Chain A
């Protein structure tokens, strides 16, 4: 067995109430490729960010090549030979490829663009990285090309350990093969490689060793040759992997209505750079039912919610298709609200609450709510505060003081405020909730699920987007999966947790 490049023992990291890493041991040998597997929120990225010096662990030891180390900044880690290629690229979008590489290299003094471009091109071909013309501006590159530039940046200085965070998420199959070949070469030359991923098949085909993380703990570790997809998937998704997500004695669905309460009709949308974020999505949610869209973050959930809420016009280009609630076409946020839509947005801090406003004011942040409460354009703060207090208490917001500014609350309580506003409404035709129970404890989560079920029973069409399979299971609705902007489903009634997990990871499952 070769020398370990990196060893971690008992690493812990906590963010507020969340225990992101709970005593993790990890080891990567020189010249070997180690895959770190796990679902969203398992702690994989956090662990590697600790290694790369972006976070300081609360506890635990780290050794590089046998020597104990502790970083206080990413620069220290980088000088010691640890390079990280992030999931979200750290490329300056307005500069060219060559300039970005020069920046990473720490070039000083004067340079001539042509000579720099030639140097970078040479460097790239030496490492077998196809980055095209180095004079192109990074913004214009495809995502795969950008990633290769990131890797090149990482390799300009001597590297003992190369970490890649979800590198294949954005690559085509061919590009994935090229990347793997490159990584194998690097490993053969002695570099230790850690690849963080949630894709089982890739981990199996590329890595020498695999470690599986779940909820901040190591639940499995071994040589790739001794593991297979089934056992890995079981480790990743946790308890009862083969259990069906919907109990068979589920009351039968109402017959498909002529006008579904919530309709998404062949919606396609592109982001500002022109890449497709939603690809011909069609979804029908009848009144009184619950539909759940499972998916790893970044596959189009935010964009779908924006489209449903009527605010997509501000951020997306080239939208096609139609969204209708209760038969009414939705083209703006005002339409959506008037049609009786409640939205729990994925980015609560940006879209969900207004930090500087008081809680009772935040509860009025919905056009229809506001119209109902106010008479003749006037609001009575005292009356609203009373109503607000009742609602806050009902949804377990602590402290339930309606006069407090929203900024004073913890993240979890802010989420409760959003829920109180959106789910506490009367006369809802449809509900769209993205990760509604994020930041909430078990009891609160169960309460929210109960409320969603009540709303459905009262006749609303409920759509929940979730990255958490436990939640998908608990809601027991019709299950879809969103992967790379494409909606897969509805999945058959007996679909198991494992099968859903695989689809979320992009693995084709034979029906």
Chain B
């Protein structure tokens, strides 16, 4: 059924963005703005490709991706949280760094033949029972692990933020770090930890790109998806459910491309490539969630 496959494609294409967005969401809730998500995603994508290629196992690739993502995020954390470097500049630097290193390493290690890389893909999971639900069954529960991870994390993160002591502490640090500090919370430690988890998730998002949505790696393949994830966080008003909605929207928009091609309409393919970015801009225009952002977002916290 066309709708079925459309939704499935949407979920699969949106998963990388969802994972990265959830990670960035956690980070921004503690008040840090990490525009280096793009670079982290790319790093994760490459690490996944490398790991999977070297061992023939997609699972190993996923682990590599997560680890790389966390490591890159910790580098960013060191620069910004510990040393107090400007978050925007450090993020931009991270992007450049990732672009250069992955490109260089790719050419050196994997791209020798010049042909497109073929990587093992993540197997689709077949969740028994749930898979047979009408309409959404196959589309949702026939997906691979990372998609399901994203879908499970969304309510989990939402719950943690709203109903646990940990969530309270994270939110306090993002909205009023001074008040949090006055209660004895180690602001920097929390922010670093959030960055590490965020990096992990963004790295996994990259893996979802390399090992599932496609099964190859090309230079710069994230193509701005990290930035779309950033916009999705804003669009979703810093809530996990909103992020899910936004990521789905873009996944479906990307999936449209294939639907239209299948229908052989005479629309230039570049329009579809542009669509996610234009959509993001439109969304930013309309939502401009300044009022709901964590109050201390982007400000370096300095201990007295």
- Check A-B contact in the complex, CB < 8 A: yes
User: Residues of A with Cβ closer than 8 Å to B?
Assistant: 54, 73-75, 78, 86, 90-95, 99, 102-104, 106-113
| Given known A74-B184, A78-B184, A103-B172, contact A91–B164 (CB-CB < 8 A) | no
6 contacts between A and B (CB under 8 A): A91-B179, A92-B175, A102-B165, A109-B164, A111-B165, A113-B163
Task: Kindly list chain B residues whose C-beta atoms are within 8 Å of the C-beta of A54.
Answer: 304
Digit string of B174-186 for contact with A (CB within 8 Å is 1, else 0)? Answer: 0110111011100
How far does the alpha carbon of A91 sit from the alpha carbon of B180 in the complex, in Å? Answer: 9
Range of interface residues on chain B? 10 to 19
How far does the alpha carbon of A110 sit from the alpha carbon of B168 in the complex, in Å? Answer: 10
Among B168, B184, B304, the one with the most A-chain Cβ atoms within 10 Å of its Cβ is B168
Task: Kindly list chain A residues whose C-beta atoms are within 8 Å of the C-beta of B183.
Answer: 90, 103-104, 106
How far does the alpha carbon of A92 sit from the alpha carbon of B180 in the complex, in Å? Answer: 8
Task: Kindly list chain B residues whose C-beta atoms are within 8 Å of the C-beta of A110.
Answer: 163-165
How far does the alpha carbon of A174 sit from the alpha carbon of B170 in the complex, in Å? Answer: 37
Interface: B237 (CB within 8 A)? no
Interface: B225 (CB within 8 A)? no
Q: Which of B166, B175, B178, B304 is within 8 Å of A95, CB to CB?
A: B175
The number of residue pairs between A and B whose CB atoms lie closer than 8 Å in the complex comes to 57
Task: Kindly list chain B residues whose C-beta atoms are within 8 Å of the C-beta of A86.
Answer: 182
Task: Kindly list chain A residues whose C-beta atoms are within 8 Å of the C-beta of B184.
Answer: 73-75, 78
Task: Kindly list chain B residues whose C-beta atoms are within 8 Å of the C-beta of A73.
Answer: 184
How far does the alpha carbon of A174 sit from the alpha carbon of B262 in the complex, in Å? Answer: 74
How far does the alpha carbon of A78 sit from the alpha carbon of B166 in the complex, in Å? Answer: 21
Chain B, 161-204, CB within 8 A of any chain A CB:
162-166, 168-169, 171-172, 175-176, 178-180, 182-184
| Given known A95-B171, A103-B172, contact A90–B179 (CB-CB < 8 A) | yes
In the complex, what residue of chain B is closest to A99 when comparing beta carbons? B168
Task: Kindly list chain B residues whose C-beta atoms are within 8 Å of the C-beta of A108.
Answer: 165-166
Task: Kindly list chain A residues whose C-beta atoms are within 8 Å of the C-beta of B178.
Answer: 90
Task: Kindly list chain B residues whose C-beta atoms are within 8 Å of the C-beta of A93.
Answer: 175-176, 295
Asked whether, in the complex, the Cβ of A109 is within 8 Å of the Cβ of B165, the reply is: yes
Asked whether, in the complex, the Cβ of A92 is within 8 Å of the Cβ of B176, the reply is: yes
Asked whether, in the complex, the Cβ of A74 is within 8 Å of the Cβ of B171, the reply is: no
How far does the alpha carbon of A110 sit from the alpha carbon of B164 in the complex, in Å? Answer: 4
Digit string of B56-90 for contact with A (CB within 8 Å is 1, else 0)? Answer: 00000000000000000000000000000000000
How far does the alpha carbon of A417 sit from the alpha carbon of B125 in the complex, in Å? Answer: 70
Task: Kindly list chain A residues whose C-beta atoms are within 8 Å of the C-beta of B179.
Answer: 90-92
In the complex, what residue of chain A is closest to B160 when comparing beta carbons? A110
Task: Kindly list chain A residues whose C-beta atoms are within 8 Å of the C-beta of B175.
Answer: 92-95
In the complex, what residue of chain A is closest to B179 when comparing beta carbons? A90
Task: Kindly list chain B residues whose C-beta atoms are within 8 Å of the C-beta of A91.
Answer: 176, 179
Task: Kindly list chain B residues whose C-beta atoms are within 8 Å of the C-beta of A90.
Answer: 176, 178-179, 182-183
Asked whether, in the complex, the Cβ of A92 is within 8 Å of the Cβ of B163, the reply is: no
Q: Which of A74, A75, A94, A112 is within 8 Å of B163, CB to CB?
A: A112
Chain B, 125-178, CB within 8 A of any chain A CB:
162-166, 168-169, 171-172, 175-176, 178
